Amino acid sequence: MSTPLARRTALTLVTGGPAAQREAAVAARLAHAGPPRGLVAVVLEGLPSGQTLLSPSDSLHVYRIAPGCLCCTGNLVLRVTLNRILRLRPELLFIGLAATDHLDQLRSWLQEPPYDQLLELTADLRT
């Protein structure tokens, strides 16, 4: 007898504009949705411009990674960060991308094992 699959984390890829715009888009989406029922994790590619809109808390974890193609040169950093986040079983996950050159490859990679059982890709959030 097989066990039912665990709830998958809703993943939204955030694209367009500089890091501050992507962060603002995530903050606006969270404000519009109301208080989260569970943990929300946000991975932002790129450094903040000085003022951040997302303040980490018990229910909001914010991770920043250096800019670099998350499909190619930044793949290992993203995998390690993503694996650490998924151990926490967040309800929502946002990944803010600095460039979208390899967006289709990244999306495909996120839909392959083991992530296909852990993540549910949602519509992209464009800034």
Phi/psi at 53 (nearest 5 deg)? Answer: -100, -20
Model pLDDT for residues 15-39, shown as the tens digit of each residue: 988 888 999 999 999 999 877 789 9
Token pair 């193609």 is at which residue?
69
- pLDDT-derived band of residue 51, with 50, 70 and 90 as boundaries? confident
Average pLDDT over all residues of the chain:
88
Give the chain as a DSSP string.
Answer: -PPPPPPPEEEEEEESS-HHHHHHHHHHHHHHH-S-SS-EEEEEES---S--S----SSEEEEEE-SS-TTTTTHHHHHHHHHHHHTT--SEEEEE-S--TTHHHHHHHHTSTTGGGTEEE---EE-
| Full-model pTM | 0.90
Model pLDDT for residues 82-108, shown as the tens digit of each residue: 999 999 999 999 999 988 888 898 899
What would the two tokens of residue 49 be? 């411009």
What is the predicted pLDDT for the residue at 119?
97
Q: Please report, to the nearest 10 degrees, the dihedral formed by the alpha carbons of residues 81, 83, 85, 88 taken in order.
A: -160
